[in-house]
Structure 1
Amino acid sequence: MLNSILTLIVDSIAGVLGGVLLLRFWMQVVRVRPPMALGQFIFQLTDWLVRPLRRVLPGVGGYDWASLIGACLIIVLAVAIDLLLFSRLSPQFLVLLSLLRFVEWVFYGFMGLIIIEAIFSWVNPHAPLAPFIGALNEPLLRPLRRVIPLAGSIDLSPLVALVLLRIGLMLVTTMLGSLA
């Protein structure tokens, strides 16, 4: 029981911190600025890890590699703690589970952004965060929008993207599960 509670706490903290680090990296990939309050939250939550990592890993190609590596470090640390709690720490198991968790975070992060954009489009398309979320989703949805026509005035590309992301997650989970 106590191990399950500790795992929940570790996974929750790591999920939030790792998700924000991945969001910070993705914002630079897409070249979008967050609204002021959100940007302050993101940078204050992650600067303690990103700034020291930047001394070792400078940005190359305009990308914030320190944020991406920081997310990977958080994942490895969380998985190591989880494995220590259940007394199954082996190096290959740690690498496989960390890789799986990283892929899960990326896929779930994209799914969450698409769902948030869909909610904004239904509830308040002129919300202050709507353009920011739309810009984050554009690289994922643009190729699908070229192929999938509008159904009346409804864009089905977010639904197709969600299904494809879920299929990708299932494939990766199955592949890594078979390796473990």
Structure 2
Amino acid sequence: MLIVDAIATLLGGALLLRFWMQAIRVRPPSSVAQFTFQLSDWLVRPLRRVVPGVGGYDWASLIGAFLIVLLATSVLFVAGWTVHAVLMQALQRFLQWILYGFMALLVVEAIFSWVNPHAPLAPFVRALNEPLLSPLRRVVPLVGNLDLSLLVALILLQIAQLVLGMLFSGL
């Protein structure tokens, strides 16, 4: 189960990253683009025939990520789970992947800002985080020239994780 989970998380993460990059119109560095597209093209290209991009969003990538988590979660059928329970578990894990992905991007940006703010990937990661951080920067003031919006975003994402856990524990 651990190997299936690790592979599913890697594939799902690549698909979610692909969706997010296209949703916010961020051009990735060639190394990131090559990794992401090579890892996910086998699923996205066939899905695009069925699910076209609408409104500027790459729905095939997002649906592909959900299909990956659903496939990985379907192992629970063996344990006797019902279809409804497996679907709810897959939805919860999918939403957790999204929240953990945002958290990871924020942590990477914090590390870049401390270690090497001029690293080649730093502007890319900053651009990926900008839609999350810009609304917070309007509300959270600088404290001694220190931008705490990143910390606030991490706390809000953790609260979202807790709420998600509570929502799905009652189902």
Q: Same fold (TM over 0.5)?
A: yes
Alignment of 1:23-62 (within 5 A): 23-62=17-56
Runs of 4+ in 1 over 6 A off after TM superposition: none
TM-superposed deviation, 1:88: 2.2
Residue number among 166, 169, 175 corresponding to 2:161 in the alignment: 169
CA apart distance, 1:178: 1.1
Match of 1:99 among 91, 94, 99: 91
Which residue of structure 2 aligns with residue 3 of structure 1?
A: none
Say which of 68, 77, 81 aligns to 1:84: 77
TM-score by length of 2: 0.98
Matches of 1:88 and 1:96, distance apart in 2: 15
How far is the alpha carbon of 1:80 from its aligned partner?
Answer: 0.3
Distance of 1:80 and 1:105 partners within structure 2 = 17
CA RMSD between the two structures: 0.8
Contact between 2:77 and 2:86, CA under 8 Å: does it hold in 1?
A: no
Structure 2, unaligned stretches of length 5 or more?
A: none
Does residue 113 (structure 1) correspond to residue 113 (structure 2)? The answer is: no
**TM-score with structure 1 length normalisation?**
0.93
Corresponding residue of 1:131: 123
Give identity over the alignment, percent.
63
**Structure 1 unaligned regions, length at least 5:** 1-6
**Amino acid aligned to 1:163:** I
Secondary structure of the 1:63 match is: coil
